[in-house]
């Protein structure tokens, strides 16, 4: 009986070790130059305010060079890192999202599921001090130990208690519908 017990223990140890080697949990840092942008419309023209400044962490299991399970994911962007190229428009945007008080825009993952190369990322999105539960679709691209996630999130400014900015005594109005697009890479 002792011999059988020893064989069972060895077999169990072998399977646990094999599973751990196949599924390695790793922590990845957000690449130094992510591609983030918020875009929308106005009565004058469509607009976009890109940013390439953010920090973030991805904790995930890998299998065969791809993400197999995402345990946690956070991305935080300085609110004033978005720039339109027009100082007046930037100031209006910063006033609208209250950057003097709320310095960052943040996504924090709560759960993730995968179908093919597309992830459904459920979490919270915080902008202008308001946090909402969101569900994002993100396409995964993985190569050479770098994992990319790209997608978008559409929402209404008023969902986050943001009054759409106006200019020229109210004759130019920003639309309430906006979209955040992201293309981030973790190494």
pLDDT (0 to 100) of residue 23: 54
pLDDT (0 to 100) of residue 136: 96
Successive 10-residue mean pLDDT values, the chain, 187 residues: 55 50 80 95 92 97 95 98 93 96 98 97 98 98 96 97 85 91 97
Strand 146-156 relative to strand 166-167, pairing: unpaired
Place of tokens 């390695």: 24
Which DSSP helix (H) or strand (E) runs through 119?
Answer: strand 118-127
The dotted CATH code for 24-186 is 2.40.128.110
Which DSSP helix (H) or strand (E) runs through 92?
Answer: helix 87-96
pLDDT (0 to 100) of residue 24: 75
pLDDT (0 to 100) of residue 2: 57
Token pair, residue 14, equals: 């072998």
Do residues 34 and 184 lie in contact, with contact meaning Cβ atoms separated by under 8 Å?
yes
Q: Kindly report the backbone phi and psi dihedral angles of residue 165, in degrees, each rounded to the nearest multiple of 5, phi listed first.
A: -65, 155
Cα–Cα distances (Å) from 155 to 21, 46, 49, 70, 133, in that order, read 41, 16, 16, 24, 12
pLDDT (0 to 100) of residue 18: 45
pLDDT (0 to 100) of residue 17: 47
Task: Output DSSP code: residue 30.
Answer: B
The domain ranges of the chain are 24-186
């Amino acid at each position: 009986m002792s011999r059988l017990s020893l064989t069972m223990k060895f077999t169990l140890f072998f399977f646990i070790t094999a599973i751990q080697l196949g599924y390695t949990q790793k922590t990845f840092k957000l690449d130094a130059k992510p591609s983030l942008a918020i875009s929308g419309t106005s009565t004058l023209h469509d607009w976009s305010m890109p940013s390439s400044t953010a920090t973030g962490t991805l904790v995930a299991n890998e299998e065969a060079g791809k993400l197999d399970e995402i345990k946690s994911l956070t991305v935080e962007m300085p609110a004033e890192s978005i720039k339109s190229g027009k100082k007046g428009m930037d100031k209006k945007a910063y006033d609208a999202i209250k950057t003097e008080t709320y310095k960052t825009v943040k996504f924090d993952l709560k759960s993730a599921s995968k179908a093919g190369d597309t992830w459904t990322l459920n979490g919270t999105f915080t902008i202008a001090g308001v946090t909402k539960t969101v569900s994002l679709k993100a396409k995964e691209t993985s190569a050479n130990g770098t994992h990319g996630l790209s997608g978008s999130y559409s929402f209404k400014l008023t969902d986050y208690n943001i009054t759409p900015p106006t200019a020229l005594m109210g004759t130019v109005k920003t639309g309430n519908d906006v979209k955040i697009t992201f293309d981030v890479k973790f190494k």
